[in-house]
């Protein structure tokens, strides 16, 4: 197959990720659990920041709002000064507070840096609810999150 035809197929995958991180095909949830798991485990971004899914040596584009990665669960550990997260891809990670890059956008979306800072993940509703309990707003309108004794500034999109 020539490169142009392959590009057309990759763009016509019909795959998308909703705001809560669920993978859908042509607007319908993917019902088969193993297919969904394999596709979500292959989530990535290309060099231009576009969402893609990789399966073996093949890949296709995925439509999404901003980032394909969504934090579906999180827990603050104030003693260890970490944030434990689970992504829509199924990946679990523990992020030290000192490495926690947080930013907000549009007044309602909160993002954090993942994969050693290479990507961002938007916090889904349940994760946002957990983190918002630790959110503090100062007198100038600046936001921060306390993780144990470490204050993590939340920067606005510039």
CB 122 within 8 A of CB 18: no
Q: What is the mean pLDDT of residues 12-16?
A: 93
What local confidence, expressed as pLDDT, does residue 158 receive? 58
Instruction: Please provide residue 77's backbone torsions phi and psi, each rounded to the nearest 5 degrees.
Output: -115, 95
Of 109, 123, 122, 118, nearest to 46 by C-alpha is 118
Q: Residue 24 above 80 pLDDT?
A: yes
Task: Looking at the structure, tell me whether residues 84 and 150 fall in a common domain.
Answer: yes
pLDDT digits (tens, 9 = 90+) for 57-98: 999 999 998 889 999 999 999 999 999 999 999 999 999 998
Per the structure, the count of domains in the chain is 2
Task: Looking at the structure, tell me whether residues 50 and 91 fall in a common domain.
Answer: no
Q: Residue 1 above 80 pLDDT?
A: no
Query: Count of residues for the chain?
Result: 158
107 versus 116: the higher-pLDDT residue is 116
In angstroms, the Cα distances linking 78 to 6, 48, 71, 93 are 49, 36, 19, 16
What local confidence, expressed as pLDDT, does residue 142 receive? 87
Last residue in a domain, options 64, 81, 113: 64
CB 73 within 8 A of CB 88: no
pTM of the model: 0.89
**Segments forming the whole domain that contains residue 130:** 70-156
Task: Looking at the structure, tell me whether residues 86 and 150 fall in a common domain.
Answer: yes
What local confidence, expressed as pLDDT, does residue 117 receive? 87
Task: Looking at the structure, tell me whether residues 122 and 84 fall in a common domain.
Answer: yes
Supply the DSSP string of 2-17, one letter for each residue.
Answer: -HHHHHHHHHT--EEE
Task: Looking at the structure, tell me whether residues 35 and 95 fall in a common domain.
Answer: no
Task: Looking at the structure, tell me whether residues 76 and 149 fall in a common domain.
Answer: yes
Q: Residue 124 above 90 pLDDT?
A: yes
């Amino acid at each position: 197959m020539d490169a142009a035809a392959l590009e057309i197929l990759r763009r016509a995958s019909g795959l998308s990720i909703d705001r809560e991180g669920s993978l859908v095909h042509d607007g319908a949830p993917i019902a088969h659990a193993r297919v969904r798991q394999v596709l979500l485990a292959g989530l990535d971004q290309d060099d231009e920041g576009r969402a893609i899914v990789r399966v073996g040596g093949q890949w296709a584009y995925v439509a999404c709002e901003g980032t394909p990665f969504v934090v579906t669960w999180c827990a603050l550990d104030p003693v260890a000064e970490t944030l434990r997260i689970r992504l829509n891809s199924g990946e679990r990670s523990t992020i030290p507070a000192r490495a926690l890059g947080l930013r907000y956008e549009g007044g309602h979306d909160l993002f954090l840096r993942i994969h050693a800072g290479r990507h961002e993940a938007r916090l889904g509703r349940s994760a946002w609810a957990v983190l918002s309990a630790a959110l503090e707003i100062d007198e100038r309108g600046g936001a921060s999150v306390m993780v144990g004794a470490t204050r993590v500034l939340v920067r606005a999109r510039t």
